[in-house]
Amino acid sequence: MKFPTGWISEYVDLPADEKVAAEAFTLSGSEVEGIESVMGESVFDFGITVNRPDCMNVYGLAREAGVLFDKPLREPESECLESDSAVETLTSVKVEAPELCPRYAARVITGVKVGESPDWMRRRLELCGLRPVNAVVDVTNYLLLELGHPLHAFDMDKLKERRIVVRRARNGEKLVTLDGVERKLDQERLVIADAEKPAALAGVMGGEYSGVTEATTDVLLEGAVFDPINVRRTSKAVGLHTDASHRFERGVDFDAPGLSLDRAARLIAEICGGAVAFGTIDVVSERPPRSPVALRHERLEKVLGMPVAPERCVSILEALKFGVEGKGMGLWSVTVPSFRVDVSREIDLIEEVARIHGYVDLDTPLPGGIDPVGGRPREMTFEEELRDAMASSGCMEAIHMSMSDPGLEAVFDPSVKPVALVNPLSQATSVLRTTLLGRLSVAAAHNRSRGERNVNLFEVGKVFKSNDDGSVAEELRLGALCYSDDPPVVWGEPGPCTLLHLKGKMQSVFERLGVLVSFEAEDHPPFVPGLSLSIRAGDGNPGRLGTLGIAAMAAAGFKGGIAHGCEVILEGLSDAARPPRFTPVSRYPSIKRDMAFLIDKGVQWKEVLASIEGLNLPDLEALKLVELYEGPELPDGKRSFTLSVSFRSESRTLTEKGAASRLDDISRIMEENFSASRR
């Protein structure tokens, strides 16, 4: 909100150094966000918070400056020469909806000649970012900026029966507003009507036909107070946010219309000539209650945590135009000026004292005590350990927006109905993600397009879904994506991550966290059938792992290469994590042998493992796959498995003979179950 300092200085003396003035405004709550020099004039750009409509004008800022710099405030000139004809003989005002319009005041000026407003006024409007229109409209805008109360000017000749009726619109009634748009109204909208039809949308915008033009001779000036909630709803309903609605919805000074109308009438008469009718029509339906607020000095110091002398409190409040009456030791009864619509409680008064007194002297003690719940919850600790484990397995942590493309998510998990945003920024961000893999894949594809041929990413975050009953749910997951596209072999750098590498990462990550994990070959979207697994982690947290299928590769934007992904639900998994349990370490030596078998290609490792484990061999310490070999020198349809088997007892040194008989058992079961011969 821009105001030239020269205009503010008309009402109060500002410090010569504009930086000093700006800093004082900022440190008292009316932030000066920028200082510009426009056409040789200094203009402050204020960021006024929504609770301070009283500072959204020149006079209000001057009032603040008066307190800050201890300078007297000059009153606006508002006396005007009135004619003999009383306003009541020229028009009438009927308020049919007093609940939405507690005050409606009007003045009339007849016989005006509407031309351009004077240069000084046009210039000030422009400095504040408003476009000059004609002298009468400019005066109303000028007053809006100067005293803060929105005024509206009607061309009286356009008003049927030259009178005003403030009423709710009839359902289906129409009004073309000043911006040329036809608005369809209903009874929730308050209108300023003439004897017949709406002439303005109350508090938001005037009607086109009743506005003041160069042809206007008689002007009716409106200065009203409208219900803030109704103005806000109307403004939202018709999609019009105006300087007037901006102020009305924040609340205006109930006592402002009189002064503003007087000063506007004076300026119009000065600029456009004409006669100001005698008197003001002022329909007051309900004055807002304003009861005094009790302020305790002890409470003030307790909340602020610093001493502020009682005399200082009183002088600050009085400078801010509050009425302060002592009610005994450290207790005051404070009356609030009508322009301070934000103040009605003791805490509001405490803030007033604090913002003027300033926080510079505030001490910086630390509060004692610790929270009885305390610390980081177990689930969060688990989440952090998971991140560390994933990073140490070679993946880089990614963080994505939660918003995603519905098409992309549908490819990565067609079974889930996504949560749609009512007001998304774009179609590509119109739903909440239902998978982590979708965005991770897109990120990998972007990285590929920037030349990265080996990308390993993971993310820990929430996904979202719509339930059938219309409710929404969020779920914490781990996602990992490993992509490679024929990466060059580089000294000392790991090669591409295969599907089994990713499976192994998941195994070691979950093992490290004390979570049991198992896999089952099972097809899932978006993976290639046959290259897809189900994961079960902990007590049954499901997940999936596999090689991305062609639809997913295309949806993510890959132009080549191969990607493997994994996604696991983490909700509740921390409860399934078991701390390590010690098992005794044997003092006796182990016997370790390698065994190679020629076996049918169709036999899966899972079956081999199950067969040998089924033997329940005593003292079996480890059974490892050493090598899997296929080659032309082997018989057709066969491959070679090399196993490493080790035995170790906790209680004695094993004999070669004992070990040999167990190796024979293995050979026998391999022969029986798979017709596998030892090589």
Residue among 422 and 500 whose Cβ is closer to another protein: 422
Question: Stretches 270-278, 348-356, 588-596, 631-639: which one binds another protein (CB under 8 A)?
Answer: 348-356
Task: Give the Cα separation of 206 and 469 in Å (integer).
Answer: 45
DSSP 188: T
Task: Give the Cα separation of 346 and 356 in Å (integer).
Answer: 16
616: which residues sit within 8 A by CB, 6+ positions away?
none
Task: Give the Cα separation of 604 and 412 in Å (integer).
Answer: 28
Position 238 contacts another protein (CB under 8 A): no
Residue among 447 and 642 whose Cβ is closer to another protein: 447
Position 423 contacts another protein (CB under 8 A): yes
From the list 20, 38, 181, 306, which residue makes contact with another protein (rule: CB under 8 A)? 306
From the list 55, 390, 499, 643, which residue makes contact with another protein (rule: CB under 8 A)? 390
Residue among 494 and 540 whose Cβ is closer to another protein: 494
Closest CA to 78 of 213, 263, 214, 202: 263
Position 348 contacts another protein (CB under 8 A): yes
From the list 31, 88, 116, 243, which residue makes contact with another protein (rule: CB under 8 A)? 31
* 449: Cα separation from own chain's centroid: 31
Task: Give the Cα separation of 554 and 445 in Å (integer).
Answer: 10
Residue type, 570: L
Position 193 contacts another protein (CB under 8 A): no
Position 229 contacts another protein (CB under 8 A): yes
Position 174 contacts another protein (CB under 8 A): no
Q: What is the 3-state secondary structure (H, E, C) of 377-434?
A: CHHHHHHHHHHHHHHHCCCEECCCCCEECHHHHHHHCCCCCCCECCCCCCHHHCEECC
Give the residue ranges of DSSP H helices in 572-624.
Answer: 573-576, 605-614
Question: Stretches 146-154, 265-273, 452-460, 602-610: which one binds another protein (CB under 8 A)?
Answer: 452-460
Task: Give the Cα separation of 139 and 217 in Å (integer).
Answer: 15
From the list 462, 536, 592, 648, which residue makes contact with another protein (rule: CB under 8 A)? 462
Distance in Å, CB of 196 to another protein, minimum: 31
From the list 494, 589, 614, 618, which residue makes contact with another protein (rule: CB under 8 A)? 494
Q: Which two tokens stand for residue 553?
A: 């590769």
From the list 372, 560, 579, 631, which residue makes contact with another protein (rule: CB under 8 A)? 372
Residue among 246 and 662 whose Cβ is closer to another protein: 246
Residue among 432 and 545 whose Cβ is closer to another protein: 432
Task: Give the Cα separation of 28 and 4 in Å (integer).
Answer: 19
From the list 364, 415, 583, 616, which residue makes contact with another protein (rule: CB under 8 A)? 364
From the list 158, 167, 232, 564, which residue makes contact with another protein (rule: CB under 8 A)? 232
Torsions phi, psi of 318, nearest 5?
Answer: -65, -40
From the list 312, 376, 587, 606, which residue makes contact with another protein (rule: CB under 8 A)? 376
458: which residues sit within 8 A by CB, 6+ positions away?
390, 391, 395, 396, 397, 398, 440, 478, 479, 480, 481
Task: Give the Cα separation of 290 and 129 in Å (integer).
Answer: 35
- Stretch 273-302 residues interacting with another protein (CB under 8 A): 302
Task: Give the Cα separation of 642 and 592 in Å (integer).
Answer: 13
Q: Which two tokens stand for residue 254?
A: 């109930």
Position 37 contacts another protein (CB under 8 A): no
Neighbours of 266 (CB within 10 A): 19
The binding track of 116-155 with respect to another protein, each residue x by CB under 8 A or -, is ----------------------------------------
The burial of 519, by beta-carbon neighbours within 10 Å (0-12 exposed, 13-18 middle, 19 or more buried), is given as middle
Question: Stretches 259-267, 391-399, 560-568, 573-581: which one binds another protein (CB under 8 A)?
Answer: 391-399
Position 250 contacts another protein (CB under 8 A): yes
Q: Which two tokens stand for residue 378?
A: 């177990």
Position 398 contacts another protein (CB under 8 A): yes
Max Cα–Cα distance, the chain, nearest Å = 132
Closest CA to 405 of 395, 415, 413: 413
Distance in Å, CB of 449 to another protein, minimum: 11
From the list 177, 210, 393, 541, which residue makes contact with another protein (rule: CB under 8 A)? 393
Distance in Å, CB of 356 to another protein, minimum: 9
Distance in Å, CB of 367 to another protein, minimum: 4
Tokens 């491959």 belong to residue: 639
The arrangement of strands across the sheet holding 620-629 comes to 620-629, 638-647, 591-600, 677-678
Position 20 contacts another protein (CB under 8 A): no
From the list 54, 138, 155, 249, which residue makes contact with another protein (rule: CB under 8 A)? 249
Position 581 contacts another protein (CB under 8 A): no
Position 303 contacts another protein (CB under 8 A): yes
Question: Stretches 8-16, 64-72, 142-150, 346-354: which one binds another protein (CB under 8 A)?
Answer: 346-354
Task: Give the Cα separation of 464 and 467 in Å (integer).
Answer: 10
Q: Dump the DSSP string for 27-59.
A: HTT-EEEEEEEETTEEEEEEE--TT-GGGSSHH
Distance in Å, CB of 331 to another protein, minimum: 15
Residue among 329 and 422 whose Cβ is closer to another protein: 422
Distance in Å, CB of 392 to another protein, minimum: 6
From the list 39, 215, 329, 366, which residue makes contact with another protein (rule: CB under 8 A)? 366
Position 472 contacts another protein (CB under 8 A): yes
Q: Are 432 and 387 contacting, i.e. CB atoms less than 8 angstroms apart? A: no
Residue type, 108: V
Residue among 387 and 638 whose Cβ is closer to another protein: 387
- Stretch 402-421 residues interacting with another protein (CB under 8 A): 402-403, 419-421
From the list 113, 131, 174, 345, which residue makes contact with another protein (rule: CB under 8 A)? 345
From the list 126, 157, 196, 384, which residue makes contact with another protein (rule: CB under 8 A)? 384
Torsions phi, psi of 201, nearest 5?
Answer: -90, 110
Residue among 350 and 515 whose Cβ is closer to another protein: 350
Position 189 contacts another protein (CB under 8 A): no
Position 50 contacts another protein (CB under 8 A): yes
DSSP 222: E
Distance in Å, CB of 574 to another protein, minimum: 13
How many chain residues bind another protein (CB under 8 A)? 89
